[in-house]
Amino acid sequence: MFAIQRIIQTALEEDIGLGDITTEVTVASDTIVRAELVAKEDFVLAGLDVAGQVFKTVDPAIAYEKLLQDGCRVRKGEVIAWLRGSAAGLLKGERVALNLLQRMSAIASLTSQYVAAVSGTKAVIVDTRKTVPGLRVLDKYSVRMGGGRNHRIGLFDGVLIKENHIAAAGGIAEAISRAKQKVPHTLKIEIETRNLDEVEQALTAGADIIMLDNMTFDELRQAVERIAGQALIEASGGVNLETVADIASTGVDIISVGALTHSVKAADISMLFD
């Protein structure tokens, strides 16, 4: 919760600065209003508590009533929350609350589309570290609300040996060997591979998870057959809503999708005074 409050505080300081000039010169300070948050399109909801916390941070006296819960499917025209309080406070919090709510709901909505696309296969959809700097905790939460799962949170909580690590270490076998000597037995070792020869090297070296990066459907199938359950298999690269079902059909365990957090279009939500 501390991380979320820090995000909110930073965003409010950025937006309000020395004060909301427009509100100060047009709205009486004692004006009390009732407002609603309204969906302007269909989407999967995420960030409703975060939006409420924005308004509470601006003015603790603002009343905030959620009408739905994160993870719900919202329809166009549906009211998702009521607010009552100082008009000035609501106006100061409006843009930050909506920015966060719209982005989080967009991520949840896109994630839900990917999850639906691989339904009936064993593949799970996971996110990546391609998040907006400073917003990762919110982005990752939103993926979960859309039915996806989280990959590592940052560089600190997982071993993922990628192309440049391999080059710097002197090869796949050497990179995995070094990792095995230093990480605890409770931590899995994942390595990125670009072709079937590298898959073979990763298997021989004892990788726990093998990432198949930007491989064709045929290469994915061959890799899955060769690995044969000896390691978890993650597919990455070239994943979109048109290709994800075919990727899942190859038998991979995990599909990581950077687009979940780096290419979303904000959900359309408005705050309207009653």
pLDDT of residue 44: 98
Amino acid code (one letter) for 213 = D
Three-state DSSP at 211 gives strand
Give residue 274's pLDDT band: very low, low, confident or very high (50, 70, 90): confident
pLDDT of residue 209: 98
pLDDT of residue 116: 98
Q: Distances in Å between the alpha carbon of 262 and those of 76, 107, 140?
A: 25, 9, 12
For 19-38, how does the pLDDT look when each residue is reduced to its tens digit (9 = 90+)? 999 999 999 999 999 999 99
pLDDT of residue 240: 97
pLDDT of residue 218: 98
Contacts of 165 (CB under 8 A, 6+ apart): 175
Rounded (10°) CA dihedral 203, 206, 210, 214: -50
Three-state DSSP at 38 gives strand
pLDDT over 90 percentage in the chain: 99
pLDDT of residue 131: 97
Q: Which residues are designated catalytic? A: 95, 130, 162, 192, 213
Beta strands 189-193 and 159-161, pairing class:
parallel
Tell me which residue has tokens 């607010």: 83
For 66-100, how does the pLDDT look when each residue is reduced to its tens digit (9 = 90+)? 999 999 999 999 999 999 999 999 999 999 999 99
Give residue 2's pLDDT band: very low, low, confident or very high (50, 70, 90): confident
Contacts of 193 (CB under 8 A, 6+ apart): 172, 199, 201, 202, 210, 211, 212, 213, 223
| For residue 242, pLDDT beyond 90 | yes
pTM of the predicted protein model: 0.96
- Kindly list the structural domains of the chain, giving each domain's residue range(s) and its CATH number in brackets, ordered by start: 2-114+264-273 (3.90.1170.20), 118-262 (3.20.20.70)
| For residue 1, pLDDT beyond 90 | no
The mean predicted confidence, pLDDT, of the chain is 97
